[in-house]
């Protein structure tokens, strides 16, 4: 099995490191690869890292009219092989259907405000409760860096909240987080994600 990390820009190596740690802990046979182009995409799961969503959108436009939303929709909707997709921070922004009141062809039906907590100076860390597994909540130390705020979730489950707002959302095979699990040493979320494959 193969899991791809979208590697145009952002926290790519951090996700690769955490995925490899989680793979080891679960004793799974999964290769982690960095994806720079999407020709011959044949992964069993995809991570879209944090970084800068506007830059990623620009980098993903090509002369054939392909863009990131078309690509993600393609992945998310091939019904027989709906692969798990995890977007963190800028990655979550790329997955959203509504960003700063602009509409995109995203996979998560929610309204997101970029830099909703303020600029870099307002970045922060907080202990939050994850409801990733049924009947069990788990603590997680979440790191928010120029994080988006999820104003409304129209479809899907809320897996974690902070100050009354969703910070982790899941709709079927697609998960979005406003924080950065790749900057911790806690593999919980990766192990949960790998178990969805
Ligand atoms: N503010 C960034 C954006 O709009 C996201 C920040 C991040 O991924 N840490 O894309």
Instruction: Spell 20-45 as b/e; 16+ CB within 10 A means b.
Output: bebbeeeeeebebeebeebeeeebbb
Mutate to test the pocket of ligand 1, among 123, 147, 150, 181 (most ligand atoms within 8 A of CB): 147
% of the chain with per-residue pLDDT over 70 = 87
- Smallest CA-to-CA distance from 139 within 129, 131, 148 is with 129
Q: How many C-beta atoms lie closer than 10 Å to residue 105's C-beta?
A: 11
- CA 27 to ligand 1 center in whole angstroms: 32
80 CA to middle of ligand 1, Å? 32
What are the pLDDT digits (tens) for 151-195?
Answer: 999 999 999 999 999 999 999 989 999 999 999 999 999 999 999
Token reading at 13: 């190596």
Which 3-state string (H, E, C) describes the chain?
Answer: CEEEEECCCCCHHHHHHHHHHHHHHHCCCCEEEEECCCCCCCCCEEEECCCCHHHHHHHHCCCCCCCHHHHHHHHHHCHHHCCCEEEECHHHHHHEEEECCEECCCCEEEEEECCCCCCHHHCEEEEEEEEEECCEEEEEEEEECCCCEEEEECCCEEEEEECCEEEEEEECCEEEECCCHHHCCCCHHHHHHHCCC
If pLDDT is split at 50, 70 and 90, which confidence band does 79 have? very low
For residue 3, pLDDT beyond 80: yes
Please tell me the distance between residue 94's alpha carbon and the centre of ligand 1 in angstroms: 10
* Ligand 1 pocket check for 188: Cβ under 6 Å: no
Average pLDDT, the chain: 89
Q: Is the CB of 22 under 6 A from ligand 1?
A: no
Fold assignment, 2-194:
Rossmann fold (3.40.50)
Instruction: Considering the candidates 27, 89, 122, 163, report the single residue annotated as catalytic.
Output: 89
70: confidence class by pLDDT, cuts 50, 70, 90: low
Query: Quick check: is 89 catalytic?
Result: yes
Catalytic annotation, pick one of 14, 15, 43, 182: 182
**pLDDT tens digits for 141-158?**
999 999 999 999 999 999
CA neighbor of 141 nearest in space, from 162, 120, 156: 162
Task: Verify whether ligand 1 is closer than 6 Å to residue 9 (CB atom).
Answer: no
Residue 175: count of CB within 10 angstroms of its CB: 27
Q: Is the CB of 84 under 6 A from ligand 1?
A: no
Number of Cβ within a 10 Å radius of residue 93: 29
């Amino acid at each position: 099995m193969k899991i791809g990390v979208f590697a145009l820009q952002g926290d790519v190596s951090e996700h690769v490191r955490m995925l490899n740690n989680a793979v080891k802990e679960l004793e799974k046979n999964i290769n982690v690869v960095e994806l720079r182009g999407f020709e011959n995409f044949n992964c069993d799961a995809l991570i879209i890292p944090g970084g800068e969503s506007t830059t990623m959108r620009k980098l993903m436009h090509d002369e054939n009219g392909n863009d990131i939303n078309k690509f993600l929709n393609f992945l998310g909707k091939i019904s027989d092989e709906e692969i798990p997709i995890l977007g963190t921070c800028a990655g979550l922004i790329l997955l959203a259907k509504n960003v700063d009141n602009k509409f995109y062809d995203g996979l998560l039906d929610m309204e997101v405000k970029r830099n909703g907590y303020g600029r870099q100076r307002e970045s922060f860390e907080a202990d939050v409760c994850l409801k990733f597994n049924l009947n069990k909540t788990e603590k997680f130390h979440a790191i928010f860096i120029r994080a988006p705020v999820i104003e409304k979730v129209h479809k899907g489950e809320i897996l974690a909240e902070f100050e009354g707002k969703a910070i982790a959302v899941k709709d079927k095979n697609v998960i979005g987080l406003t924080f950065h699990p790749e900057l911790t040493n806690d593999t919980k979320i990766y192990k949960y994600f790998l178990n969805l494959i």
